[in-house]
C-alpha cells in the first residue's frame, strides 16, 4: 500500500514538474509575476512528493518487502541494513529515481539561494529545470518504474550484486549524480540567459558558483569510483579507460573547461558564446553519461534495442534537449558579441588554450568510447578500444595543458607580458627540475621518458601555484577565498600529475604460485604467504589468506586478502588486501587454490597511488573554497560594477 | 603586431595544434583498435599474423591443465564448431571455469596457440559479452543442424549453471 502511495506521489511530482516548466518559462516570457511565483512553489511541492515517493521505496527495502519487484531483484533479507538502503540505486530504475531526487534537491537550492536573482531570470532557470525533471520523471514512470509490484511476492530477494556491497560504491552514485545533475543546473542558467537574450554577462557570475559546486561533486564522485575499482575489482588498476569510467570523465573534462571559461566571461565579458556552448556540451555529456551507463547500450547496441521503449525514449529525450538547446544557441549566440580584446600572453589567452586542450581531450575520450558502438551499429565488426589508444592519445592534449598551467598562472588579465614574472617562472622551473629529477633518478630510477617529464611538471605546478600567494602573504596582504581556492585546486592538479607519473612508471605487479610459508620479493618488499583459513560473513562465506610483508627485518604490512562466495547469487568475489602508506600501496589478492596448501597470488607494489585520489580530492576542495569568495555574497550588480572599475580580488592579486 | 595579426596568429596556432592532436589520435586509434574473433574465424585464418585481438568462446570441459608449481595454464576455447588452444600465465579471474564463457586478449603464436595476456570472465552467469553470445548462438545453431538440436541446447544450459567449487 505504501509503495502505491509512493507511486502516486511520483505522478503528482510529474504534474508539478510540468507546472514548474510551464509557469516558469511562459510566466517569464509574458512577464506575469504570479505565474513566476507558481514555478517556485511547484519546486517545493515537487521536492516534497519526490521525498515521499523515495521514502516509501526506501521503506520497502528496509522492511524487506519482496512484493515490490525492484526490491525483490536487488535486495535480500540477509543483506546488512546499510546496503539495503544503498541497494535503492543499485540498478537502472533506482538510479533514475536517485537522479530525479538529486535534481529536486538542486532545484530547491536554486529556488532558495536564487531569491537575489531577477525574478524573471530565476523563473526561466526553474522552468528549464522543470523541463529536465519532467523528462526524467516521464521516463521513470513509463519505462522504468521501480514501484512495480511482483505477484506473487518473492520469498526472498535476489540480492545486490556483491561487488556493489561496499562503502565506496554505496556513496559513489549519489555524489557522482550530484555532479551530473549540478551540471544541469549550470545548463539551466545558460539557457535562461539565452532565452532572455541578455546582452550583459551577469549570468556568468550567477552560473559560476553552481557550476563549480557541481564540478567539485563530479571530481569526488569519479575519484570514489576509481578508488572502488582499485580495491574491489581487486586487480589493482586505478583507471582502465572502461566506457563506464569514460562516461563520467567526459563531462568532467568539459566541465573543467567550463569553470575556466566562466571566469573569463564573468570577469571580462569575453568568450560569451563559447561559454554557453560549453554549458550545453557539459549537460549533454552528463545526460549521455547517465544513459550510457544505465541503459545497457555499453554492453551492446543490441541489448539496448532489446528494450525498445527505453531506447527510443532516451534517444528522443537526448535529441529534444540537446537539439533544443543548440537551436536556442544558434538563435541567440550571434547577438552576443564581445567588444573587448586581449593580448597574446594574457591570462585570457592561457584560459583559451586550457579550453581548447580540454576540448581536444574530451574529443579523444569521446571518440574512443563511442567508436565501438558506432562500428557495431553500422555493422563494421566488433572492435574494442582500450588503454593502448587512450594512454598516448590522451597525453597529446594534456601534456601541453599541464605544462601551460604553470606559465598561465603568472599571466595577467588583459595585458600581454610575462617578462615581469620571468624570474619566478624560471626559478620555480629550476627547483622543479632539481627536485623532480632527484626523485626520479634518486629514488625510483625509471628509464621511461615520461617519468621525469611528469615529475618535473607536477612539482612545477605546485611551486608556481604557491609562489604568488606566498609572496602576498609575506607582504601581509589578505588572500581572497577565490585565490586560495584556485591555488589549492592547482596544487591538487600537481599532486594528481605526480601520482599518475609514479604509479604508471614504477608499479610492480607479479602473479605467482606460493605454497604455505613461501615468500616472494618485489621492489624490496618480501611477501610471505602464511596460508588460508575459512571465514563466514552475514551473507557470504569464503577463505581468508594471510600475507605478511616485510622490508628488511621490519614487518610493514599484515594483509588478509579474501575470496567470498555470496550465497544468493553464488558469485565469487575477490577482495584484495592493501597495505597503504602515503607513498606506496602493497597489494595482495588471492587467485586460485592450486592444491597441497599452495595458492596463486597476485602481488603488487604501487608507489604514490594515493596521490591520484588525494589530488582529485584537493582539486574538489579548492573548487569548494572559491565558493566562499566575497564576490558571491555581495549583490551581483554591485559585484560587476566593481569588476569594471577597480578590478576584482583575483586580478588585483596577480 | 596589430590586433588583427595577433588574432590570426592565435587562430593559426590553434588550428595547427588541433590538427596535430587529431592526427596523432587517429593514428593511435588505427594502430590500437582491437577486433574480436571467434574460434571459427581463427580456424579460417582470418587473423593476421602477430595481430593482437580478442578471442571469445566457451572453455571446453576437461581441457584445463596446469603446470604444477607455476601459474601456467592451458585450456581450449570453443564456439561449438571449432576450438582454439589457449595459454596463460597469470591468475585466472573469479568467474573463469570450464564450461563457462570467457574473453581473452592476446596473439597467436607460430603453432596456432593463442597466447593470452589478459583473460576476462568478469560477468555473472546471466550475462555474456554480446559478441560471444552471438557467435555461440551461431555455433549452436550449426551444431543443432547436425545433432538434432536438443543435446546442444542442453549442453549450453549445463555450461551456464554456476559451479560452486571456486572458493576451496
Domain endpoint, select from A106, A138, A164: A164
Question: With a CB-CB cutoff of 8 Å, which residues 37-66 of chain B face chain A?
Answer: 54, 66
Q: What is the mean pLDDT of residues A251-273?
A: 94
| B32·A389 Cβ contact <8 A | yes
State the Cα angle at A152 between A148 and A154, rounded to 5°: 85
CA distance A23 to chain B (A): 44
Q: What is the mean pLDDT of residues A301-317?
A: 70
Confidence grade of residue B123 (pLDDT, cut at 50, 70, 90): low
Domain annotation covers residue B89:
yes
Helix (H) or strand (E) holding A565: strand A562-566
Domain annotation covers residue A325:
no
How is A154-197 classified by DSSP, letter by letter?
PSS-----GGG-SHHHHHHHHHHHHHHHHHHHHHHHHHHHHHHT
Cβ contacts of B31 on chain A, cutoff 8 Å: 388-389
- Specify the 3-state DSSP secondary structure of A516: coil
pLDDT of the residue at A418 = 66
Domain annotation covers residue B15:
no
- In the block, which residue shows the cell 569526488? A220
State the Cα angle at A585 between A584 and A591, rounded to 5°: 155
Query: Quick check: A630 and A606 in contact, CB under 8 A?
Result: no
CA distance B52 to chain A (A): 11
pLDDT of the residue at A572 = 82
pLDDT in tens, A57-116: 999 999 999 999 999 999 999 999 999 999 999 888 899 999 999 999 999 999 999 888
| A384·B33 Cβ contact <8 A | yes
CA A562 to chain centre: 30
| A356·B33 Cβ contact <8 A | no
- In the block, which residue shows the cell 573569463? A264
- Asked if B6 has any chain A CB less than 8 Å from its own CB, the reply is yes
| A565·B124 Cβ contact <8 A | no
Query: Quick check: A50 and A101 in contact, CB under 8 A?
Result: yes
pLDDT in tens, A437-453: 999 998 888 778 899 99
Sign of the torsion formed by the C-alpha atoms of A138, A140, A142 and A143: positive
Question: If you measure CA to CA, which chain B residue comes closest to A344?
Answer: B6
Cell, residue A226: 576509481
Total domains in chain A come to 2
Domain annotation covers residue A275:
no
Q: Which residue has the higher pLDDT, B61 or A638?
A: B61
| A385·B3 Cβ contact <8 A | no
Q: Say how far apart CA A86 and CA A65 lie, in whole Å.
A: 15
How is A327-362 classified by DSSP, letter by letter?
HHHHHHGGG--------TTSHHHHHHHHHHHHHHHH
Cβ contacts of B127 on chain A, cutoff 8 Å: 299
Total domains in chain B come to 1
Return the minimum-mean-pLDDT range out of A24-28, A157-161, A171-175, A356-360: A157-161
| B91·A589 Cβ contact <8 A | yes
Q: Say how far apart CA A478 and CA A459 lie, in whole Å.
A: 25
Domain annotation covers residue A91:
yes
| A396·B25 Cβ contact <8 A | yes
- Asked if B162 has any chain A CB less than 8 Å from its own CB, the reply is yes
CA distance B148 to chain A (A): 28
pLDDT of the residue at B155 = 36
Q: Say how far apart CA B34 and CA B131 lie, in whole Å.
A: 13
Cell, residue A23: 509557469
Option in A368, A392, A592 nearest B91 (CB):
A592
Sign of the torsion formed by the C-alpha atoms of A176, A179, A182 and A184: negative
CA distances from A464 to A430, A458, A562, A611, B77 (A): 11, 10, 45, 19, 56
pLDDT of the residue at A254 = 98
pTM of the model: 0.88
Percentage of chain A with pLDDT > 90? Answer: 62
pLDDT in tens, A570-587: 778 888 899 999 999 999
Option in A573, A598, A600 nearest B91 (CB):
A600
Top residue of A232, A300, A382 to mutate, by most chain B CBs within 10 Å, is: A382
CA distance B26 to chain A (A): 8
Domain annotation covers residue A631:
no
Cβ contacts of A355 on chain B, cutoff 8 Å: none
| A591·B71 Cβ contact <8 A | yes
Domain annotation covers residue B13:
no
CA distance B82 to chain A (A): 19
pLDDT of the residue at A14 = 97
Cβ contacts of A541 on chain B, cutoff 8 Å: 167
State the Cα angle at B70 between B66 and B74, rounded to 5°: 30
Size of interface A-B (CB pairs under 8 A): 122
CA distances from A284 to A322, A333, A653, B9 (A): 6, 18, 36, 32
Confidence grade of residue B164 (pLDDT, cut at 50, 70, 90): very low
How is B36-68 classified by DSSP, letter by letter?
EE-HHHHHTT-SPTT--EEEEEEEPTT--EE-T
Name which of A159, A181, A147 is nearest A54 in CA terms: A147
A650 prior amide bond cis, ω within 30: no
Structural domain that includes position B107: 36-155
| B89·A592 Cβ contact <8 A | no
Domain annotation covers residue A355:
no
A412 — phi, psi (to 5°)?
Answer: -100, 160
Judged by phi (left if over 0) then psi (alpha if -120 to 50, else beta), residue B93 lies in beta
pLDDT of the residue at B49 = 79
Cβ contacts of B36 on chain A, cutoff 8 Å: 381-384
Cβ contacts of B34 on chain A, cutoff 8 Å: 383-386
CA A621 to chain centre: 13
| B94·A572 Cβ contact <8 A | yes
How is A239-303 classified by DSSP, letter by letter?
----HHHHHHHHHHHHHHHHHHHHHHHHHH--SHHHHHHHHHHHHHHHHHHHHHHHHSTTT-HHH
CA distances from A644 to A201, A203, B85 (A): 12, 15, 73
Q: Say how far apart CA A654 and CA A467 lie, in whole Å.
A: 11
CA distance A31 to chain B (A): 42
CATH number (domain holding residue B149): 2.40.50.140
- Specify the 3-state DSSP secondary structure of A605: strand
Q: Say how far apart CA A560 and CA A573 lie, in whole Å.
A: 14
CA distance A326 to chain B (A): 23
Cβ contacts of A393 on chain B, cutoff 8 Å: 24-25, 28-29
Option in A299, A511, A543 nearest B130 (CB):
A299
Res. B135: pLDDT tops 80: no
Exposed / middle / buried, residue A344 (Cβ in 10 Å: 0-12, 13-18, 19+): middle
Confidence grade of residue B146 (pLDDT, cut at 50, 70, 90): very low
Q: Say how far apart CA A172 and CA A178 lie, in whole Å.
A: 10
Question: If you measure CA to CA, which chain A residue comes closest to B16?
Answer: A356
Query: Quick check: A61 and A67 in contact, CB under 8 A?
Result: no
Q: Find all residues with CB under 8 Å of A570, minimum gap 6, and list them.
A: B125, B162, B164
Q: Say how far apart CA A302 and CA A281 lie, in whole Å.
A: 27
Structural domain that includes position A134: 1-164
pLDDT in tens, A535-564: 998 888 999 999 999 998 899 999 999 998
Option in A385, A574, A594 nearest B66 (CB):
A594
Q: Which residue has the higher pLDDT, B164 or B86?
A: B86
Torsion of CA A639, A645, A647, A652, to 10 degrees: -130
| B29·A570 Cβ contact <8 A | no
Query: Taking the CB of residue A424, how many other CB atoms lie within 10 A of it?
Result: 18
Confidence grade of residue A233 (pLDDT, cut at 50, 70, 90): low
Res. A591: pLDDT tops 70: yes
Confidence grade of residue B74 (pLDDT, cut at 50, 70, 90): very high
The two most distant CA atoms of chain B are separated, in Å, by: 83
CA distance B91 to chain A (A): 6
Complex-level ipTM:
0.70
Question: If you measure CA to CA, which chain A residue comes closest to B21?
Answer: A396
pLDDT of the residue at A158 = 86
Cβ contacts of B130 on chain A, cutoff 8 Å: 299-300, 302-303
Neighbouring-strand partners of residue A512 = A601
Res. A456: pLDDT tops 90: yes
pLDDT of the residue at B51 = 84
Helix (H) or strand (E) holding A601: strand A598-607
Q: What is the mean pLDDT of residues B21-29?
A: 82
Return the minimum-mean-pLDDT range out of A214-223, A297-306, A635-644, B35-44: A635-644
Option in B31, B54, B89 nearest A384 (CB):
B54
Res. A310: pLDDT tops 90: no
Q: What is the mean pLDDT of residues A329-351?
A: 80
Helix (H) or strand (E) holding A8: helix A2-30
Q: Which residue has the higher pLDDT, A344 or A473?
A: A473
Domain annotation covers residue B115:
yes
Percentage of chain B with pLDDT > 70? Answer: 70
Confidence grade of residue A463 (pLDDT, cut at 50, 70, 90): very high
Amino acid at each position: 500500500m505504501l509503495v502505491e502511495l509512493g507511486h502516486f506521489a511520483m505522478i503528482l511530482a510529474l504534474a508539478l514538474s510540468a507546472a514548474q516548466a510551464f509557469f516558469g518559462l511562459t510566466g517569464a516570457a509574458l512577464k506575469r509575476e504570479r505565474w513566476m511565483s507558481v514555478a517556485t512553489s511547484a519546486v517545493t511541492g515537487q521536492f516534497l512528493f519526490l521525498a515521499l515517493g523515495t521514502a516509501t521505496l526506501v521503506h520497502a527495502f528496509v522492511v524487506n518487502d519482496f512484493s515490490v519487484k525492484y526490491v525483490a531483484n536487488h535486495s535480500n533479507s540477509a543483506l546488512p541494513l546499510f546496503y539495503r538502503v544503498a541497494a535503492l540505486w543499485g540498478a537502472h530504475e533506482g538510479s533514475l529515481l536517485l537522479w530525479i531526487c538529486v535534481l529536486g534537491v538542486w532545484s530547491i537550492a536554486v529556488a532558495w539561494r536564487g531569491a537575489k536573482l531577477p525574478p524573471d531570470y530565476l523563473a526561466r532557470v526553474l522552468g528549464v529545470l522543470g523541463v529536465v525533471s519532467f523528462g526524467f520523471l516521464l521516463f521513470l514512470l513509463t519505462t522504468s518504474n521501480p514501484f512495480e509490484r511482483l505477484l506473487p511476492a518473492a520469498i526472498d530477494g535476489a540480492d545486490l550484486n556483491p561487488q556493489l556491497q561496499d562503502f565506496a560504491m554505496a556513496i559513489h552514485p549519489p555524489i557522482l549524480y550530484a555532479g551530473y545533475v549540478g551540471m544541469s543546473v549550470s545548463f539551466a542558467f545558460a539557457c535562461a540567459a539565452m532565452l532572455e537574450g541578455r546582452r550583459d554577462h551577469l549570468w556568468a557570475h550567477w552560473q559560476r558558483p553552481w557550476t563549480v559546486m557541481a564540478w567539485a561533486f563530479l571530481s569526488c564522485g569519479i575519484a570514489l569510483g576509481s578508488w572502488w575499482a582499485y580495491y574491489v575489482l581487486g586487480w589493482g588498476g586505478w583507471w582502465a579507460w572502461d566506457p563506464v569510467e569514460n562516461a563520467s570523465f567526459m563531462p568532467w573534462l568539459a566541465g573543467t573547461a567550463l569553470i575556466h571559461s566562466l571566469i573569463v566571461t564573468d570577469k571580462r565579458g569575453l568568450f560569451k558564446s563559447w561559454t554557453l556552448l560549453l554549458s550545453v556540451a557539459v549537460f549533454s555529456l552528463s545526460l549521455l553519461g547517465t544513459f550510457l551507463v544505465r541503459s545497457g547500450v555499453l554492453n551492446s547496441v543490441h541489448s539496448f534495442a532489446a528494450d525498445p521503449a527505453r531506447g527510443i525514449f532516451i534517444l528522443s529525450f537526448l535529441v529534444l534537449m540537446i537539439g533544443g538547446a543548440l537551436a536556442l544557441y544558434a538563435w541567440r549566440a550571434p547577438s552576443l558579441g564581445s567588444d573587448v580584446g586581449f593580448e597574446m600572453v594574457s591570462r585570457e589567452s592561457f584560459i583559451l588554450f586550457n579550453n581548447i586542450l580540454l576540448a581536444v581531450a574530451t574529443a579523444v575520450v569521446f571518440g574512443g568510447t563511442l567508436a565501438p558502438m558506432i562500428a557495431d551499429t553500422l555493422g563494421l565488426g566488433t572492435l574494442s578500444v582500450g588503454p593502448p589508444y587512450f594512454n598516448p592519445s590522451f597525453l597529446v592534449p594534456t601534456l601541453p595543458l599541464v605544462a601551460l598551467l604553470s606559465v598561465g598562472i603568472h599571466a595577467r588579465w588583459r595585458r600581454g607580458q610575462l617578462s615581469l614574472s620571468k624570474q619566478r617562472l624560471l626559478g620555480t622551473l629550476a627547483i622543479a627540475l632539481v627536485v623532480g629529477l632527484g626523485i626520479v633518478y634518486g629514488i625510483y630510477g625509471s628509464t621511461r621518458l615520461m617519468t621525469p617529464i611528469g615529475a618535473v611538471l607536477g612539482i612545477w605546478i605546485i611551486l608556481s601555484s604557491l609562489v604568488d600567494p606566498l609572496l602576498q602573504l609575506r607582504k601581509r596582504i589578505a588572500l581572497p577565498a577565490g585565490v586560495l581556492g584556485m591555488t589549492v585546486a592547482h596544487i591538487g592538479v600537481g599532486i594528481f600529475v605526480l601520482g599518475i607519473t609514479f604509479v604508471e612508471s614504477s608499479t610492480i605487479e607479479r602473479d605467482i604460485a606460493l605454497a604455505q610459508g613461501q615468500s616472494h620479493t618485489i621492489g624490496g618488499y618480501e611477501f610471505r604467504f602464511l596460508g588460508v583459513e575459512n571465514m563466514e560473513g552475514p551473507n557470504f562465506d569464503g577463505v581468508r589468506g594471510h600475507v605478511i610483508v616485510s622490508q628488511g627485518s621490519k614487518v610493514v604490512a599484515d594483509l588478509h586478502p579474501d575470496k567470498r562466495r555470496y550465497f544468493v547469487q553464488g558469485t565469487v568475489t575477490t577482495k584484495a588486501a592493501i597495505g597503504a602508506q602515503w607513498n606506496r600501496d602493497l597489494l595482495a589478492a588471492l587467485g586460485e587454490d592450486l592444491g597441497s596448501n599452495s595458492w596463486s597470488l597476485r602481488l603488487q607494489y604501487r608507489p604514490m597511488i594515493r596521490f591520484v585520489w588525494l589530488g582529485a580530492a584537493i582539486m574538489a576542495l579548492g573548487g569548494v573554497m572559491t565558493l566562499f569568495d566575497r564576490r558571491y555574497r555581495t549583490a551581483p550588480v554591485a559585484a560587476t560594477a566593481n569588476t569594471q572599475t577597480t578590478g576584482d580580488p583575483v586580478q588585483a592579486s596577480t | 603586431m596589430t590586433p588583427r595579426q595577433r588574432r590570426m596568429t592565435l587562430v593559426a596556432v590553434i588550428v595547427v595544434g588541433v590538427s596535430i592532436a587529431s592526427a596523432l589520435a587517429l593514428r593511435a586509434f588505427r594502430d590500437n583498435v582491437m577486433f574480436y574473433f571467434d574460434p571459427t574465424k581463427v580456424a579460417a585464418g582470418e587473423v593476421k599474423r602477430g595481430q593482437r585481438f580478442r578471442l571469445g568462446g566457451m572453455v571446453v570441459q576437461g581441457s584445463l591443465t596446469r603446470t604444477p608449481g607455476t601459474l601456467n595454464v592451458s585450456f581450449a576455447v570453443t564456439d561449438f564448431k571449432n576450438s582454439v588452444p589457449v595459454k596463460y600465465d597469470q591468475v585466472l579471474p573469479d568467474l573463469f571455469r570450464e564450461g563457462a564463457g570467457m574473453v581473452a586478449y592476446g596473439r597467436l603464436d607460430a603453432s596456432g596457440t593463442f597466447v593470452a595476456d589478459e583473460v576476462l570472465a568478469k560477468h555473472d552467469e546471466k550475462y555474456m559479452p554480446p559478441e560471444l553470445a552471438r557467435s555461440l548462438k551461431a555455433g549452436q545453431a550449426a551444431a543443432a543442424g547436425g545433432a538434432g538440436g536438443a543435446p546442444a541446447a542442453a549442453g549450453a544450459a549445463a555450461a551456464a549453471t554456476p559451479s560452486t567449487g571456486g572458493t576451496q
